[in-house]
Structure 1
C-alpha cells in the first residue's frame, strides 16, 4: 500500500519533485566538484614535494651556510697560466659544494641512531662551473702622422710628427661558461635520497660495488641537452666519467644534472668524509614532528626540514588555487548545500499545505499521524535520492571535465634558508645564497573517490530527511476537520 501510494503521488507531482531534486542536485554536484578539485590540489602538491625529497624521504638534515669571511667574495675564481703562443685554448673547472655547510659523514650514523629514525643516508651536492675558450694575442703597430693634417693638430706648436706611439691591434678573449649540478650518492643505499625519485629509462643504475668507479647517471633533460647516451664520456676537473644510465624523475623536473658515487664527489669537491644533506626516513610517518624535535635537540647546529616545512614555501598559482579550493570553495559548497536543503524543506512544507483535504481525509479513514508523516518523509527521501543521483552525475561530469582540460598550475619553490636548495636538498643555490626559486608546471586533475560518492549519497538522504521532517511535522498536525473546511 505504502509503495503504491508513494509512486502515485510522485507521479502526480512530477514538477514539484523535479524542482526539489534539481535543488539538491546542484548542491551535491558542487560538493563533489570542490572535493575532487581539492584532492587534485593535494595530489599536485605531493608531486612537487616528491620531486624535491625523493620517495620514502620524510625529512632532511642540513647546516646553514656560514657567512663569507671579510675579504672573500665566496664566489668562484679561475686562474689561467700565461703562454707564449698567440692563440691558446684554456679550460678550467671550478667545483664547489652547495646546499649548505658541509657536515661530517659521521653525523649520518648519529642521525640514524636517533629515536624514531628508521634509516639515514648522506649525499653531497656540488656545483661545477666550467670555463673554456681561448686568448688571442694582439699585435703592436706604429702609426705615422700625415703632413696634410690641417694645423698639425695634436702636435706641440702645430708641427707635424714623423711617427706615433705603437698601438696594440686585434687580440682578445672568447670564453664559454657552463654551470651544472652534480650530486654524490651513497650507491649502497639508493632507496633513500636523491636517486629514489628517479626512474632509470636507459642503461642501469649504480651497483653497491661502484663506490670508487668513475661512472655517472645523467638526468634525461641534461642528457638531451648535451646529447649524452649510455657509454658517452665527459670530464670533471680532468676526471673522466662514463655514462651508465639515463634517469627520468617520477614527477616534475629534476634539479640535478649528474649523479656520481659519493666517494668520487667528495674527492672532486675537496670534501673528504663530508656531506651536505642527510636524508632521513622515520619509522612512523605520523611521528615526523617528534623525530624532527629529537634530531634538533640532540644534534645542535643543524636544520631539519620536513615536507610540511617545504609545503609552506610553495607559492604560485598552485598555492593560490589550493587556498581557494580549501577555503572559499568549501564554504561556498556549504552555503549552496544549506540553501538547497532549505528550499527542499520549504517546497515540501508548501506541498503539504496544499494537500490538506487529502491528509485530512486519510486521517478520517483511520490513518494515524505517524503513517501520514511516514508517507511525506518517504516521498522526500525519494526526491532526495533522485537529486543525489543527478548531483553525482553532474559532479562526476564536472570533475572529469577538469581532468580532461588539465589546466596548468605553476609552483614556485623557495628554499627554507641555509643557502641550499629546498630543505638543503640537491639543486639549490651556490654558497652564500640564502634563497633560491625553482618553478614547476603541474597539470591539475580532479579524481573522484568512493568516499566522495558515499558523501554525496549521505547528503542526498540527509536532504530528503530534512525536507520530509518539516513536511511530515506539518502533516501530522492536521485534523480531519481541516479537510471538511477545505471543501468548497
Structure 2
C-alpha cells in the first residue's frame, strides 16, 4: 500500500516533485564542483612542489644558514686568462663550476639522516652552476721588454645549471620530475662515468642529442639521454653522476641537499624534529613549508575555492534544504482534505508522516541524481576548459630561473633558494568516490529535512479539517 500510494502521488504531483528535486540538485551540484576544484587545486600544488622536490620526496635537508657576520670563507668564482699579446688576440675560454648557494654538507650527512627513525630513504645530490666565459682580447701595444698595454676585450658569458645525482639511488631527487624522452637514464654502475642526461629545452637550445658530446671544464661527456620536465621548468639543464659533479665543483664528498622519504606521511612532523635534533647544523624543510610560499594565480584560486566557494556551497545547500522543506510543508497544506480523509479511514498520524517522508526522500534522491549529473558535467567543463594557473615559489632575493633546491641565495634551505621559480599548471577538477558519496548523503539528508517539515504538519491534521474543506 505504501509504495502504491507513493507512486501514485509522485505521478500526480510531477511538477512539484521536479521543483523540489531541482533545488536540491542545484545545491548538490555546487558542492560537487567546489569539492572537485578544491581537490584539483591541491593536486596542482602537489605537482608544483614535486617539480621542485622530486617525486616521493617528503622533506629536504640542507645546511643551516650562517648567522650574519659568521658566514666563514666562501668560494667565489675566479676567472684567469692569459692576456699576452698574440697578433690580433688569442681566443680565450674558461668554465667555472660553482656550488649553488655556496653551502654544502658532508656526504656522511646522508647516512645520518637515513638512520633516523621513520626515514624510508635518503639520497644526496649536488646542485651547481657552470659559468662559461669565452671571447678574445683585442690587440694591444707591444713594447720590447714590457707587458702588452692597451687593447680591448670581447667576451660572452653563458651559464647553465648542473645537478649531480646519485646514480645508484635515482628514486629520489629532482631528476624524478622529468621523463626520459630519448635515450636512457644513468646506469647504476656509472657512478663516475663521463655521461650526462640533458633537459630537452637545453638540448634544443644547444643542438645536443643522444650520442653527442657536452664539454664541461675541458672534459667531454657523452649525452646518454634527453629528459623532459613533466610540469614547469626542469630542475636542471644538465644531470651528471654525483661523483663527476663533485669533482667539477671542487666539492669532493659533499652534497647540497638530502632528499628524504618517510615511512608514513603521518610521521613527517616527528621525523622533521628528529633530524633537526640529531643532525645539527642543518635546516629541514617539508612540503608544508614550501606550500606556504606558493603565490600567484594558483594560490589566489585555491583561496577562493577553499574560502568563498565553500561558504557559497554551504549557503546554497542550506537554502535548498529550507526551500524544499517549505515547499513540502506547503504541499501538505494543500492536501488537508486528502490526509484528513485518510485519518478518518483509520490511518494513524505515524503512517501519514511516513508517507510524506517517503515522498520527500524520493524527491531528495531524484535531486541527488540531477545534482550528480550536473556536478560531473561542471567538473568536466572545468577540466576541459579551465585556465592554466601560475604558481610562484617565493623566497629571498638571489635566486634565478631554473633553480633547484639548494640554489643560489646564500643557503638557508629550499624555501629561500626557490626564488623566482614559476610553474604553470592546468586546472583540473577530479571527482572522487568520496565526493559522490557526500552527494548521495546530502540528497538523503535533503529529503529527510523536507520530509520532517511536511511530516510534522501532516501529523497535526485532524479528520475534522477534511470535513470543513468539504463544506
Q: Same fold (TM over 0.5)?
A: yes
Q: Secondary structure at the match of 1:234?
A: strand
Q: Secondary structure at the match of 2:470?
A: coil
Deviations 1:293-345 (A, max 9, x none): 00001111100011111111111110111111111111111111000000000
Correspondence 1:331 to 2:332: no
Which residue in 1 is equivalent to 2:98?
A: 96
Deviations 1:237-271 (A, max 9, x none): 11111111111233332121111111111111111
Q: How far 1:234 moved relative to its partner? A: 1.8
Give the 3 Å change call, closer, same or farther, for CA 418–191 of structure 1 in structure 2: farther
Verify the 8 A CA contact 2:85 2:139 in the aligned structure 1: no
Q: Secondary structure at the match of 1:486?
A: helix
Correspondence 1:56 to 2:56: yes
Verify the 8 A CA contact 1:118 1:283 in the aligned structure 2: yes
Which residue in 2 is equivalent to 1:361?
A: 341
Deviations 1:205-260 (A, max 9, x none): 11222122111111111111111101111211111111111112333321211111
Distance 2:384 2:51 in 1: 24
Q: 1:22-421 to 2 correspondence within 5 Å? A: 22-66=22-66, 76-85=77-86, 86-99=88-101, 101-137=103-139, 172-415=152-395
Verify the 8 A CA contact 1:99 1:419 in the aligned structure 2: no
Which residue in 1 is equivalent to 2:407?
A: 428
Verify the 8 A CA contact 1:65 1:100 in the aligned structure 2: no
Q: Secondary structure at the match of 2:245?
A: helix
Mark the structure with the bigger radius of gyration. Answer: 1
Q: Secondary structure at the match of 1:453?
A: helix
Which residue in 1 is equivalent to 2:455?
A: 472
Distance 1:114 1:49 in 2: 24
What RMSD in Å do the two structures reach over aligned CA positions? 2.4
| Structure 2 portions without partners, runs of 5+ | 143-148
Which residue in 1 is equivalent to 2:146?
A: none
Normalising by structure 1, report the TM-score.
0.89
Q: How far 1:180 moved relative to its partner? A: 0.6
Q: How far 1:187 moved relative to its partner? A: 1.2
Which residue in 1 is equivalent to 2:422?
A: 439
Deviations 1:369-392 (A, max 9, x none): 111111111111111111111111
Verify the 8 A CA contact 1:102 1:275 in the aligned structure 2: yes
Give the 3 Å change call, closer, same or farther, for CA 323–119 of structure 1 in structure 2: same
Q: Secondary structure at the match of 2:355?
A: helix
| Structure 1 portions without partners, runs of 5+ | 141-167
Length, aligned pairs only = 458
Distance 1:413 1:382 in 2: 49
Distance 1:180 1:358 in 2: 83
Q: How far 1:480 moved relative to its partner? A: 0.5
Verify the 8 A CA contact 1:121 1:278 in the aligned structure 2: yes
Distance 2:95 2:392 in 1: 30
Distance 1:303 1:361 in 2: 79
Which residue in 1 is equivalent to 2:434?
A: 451
Distance 1:443 1:132 in 2: 40
Distance 2:89 2:434 in 1: 72
Q: How far 1:65 moved relative to its partner? A: 4.7
Distance 1:74 1:263 in 2: 19
Verify the 8 A CA contact 1:399 1:446 in the aligned structure 2: yes
Distance 2:312 2:410 in 1: 47
Which deviates more from structure 2 when the two are superposed, residues 192-201 or residues 67-76?
67-76
Which deviates more from structure 2 when the two are superposed, residues 470-479 or residues 8-17?
8-17
Give the 3 Å change call, closer, same or farther, for CA 109–73 of structure 1 in structure 2: closer
Distance 1:394 1:131 in 2: 60
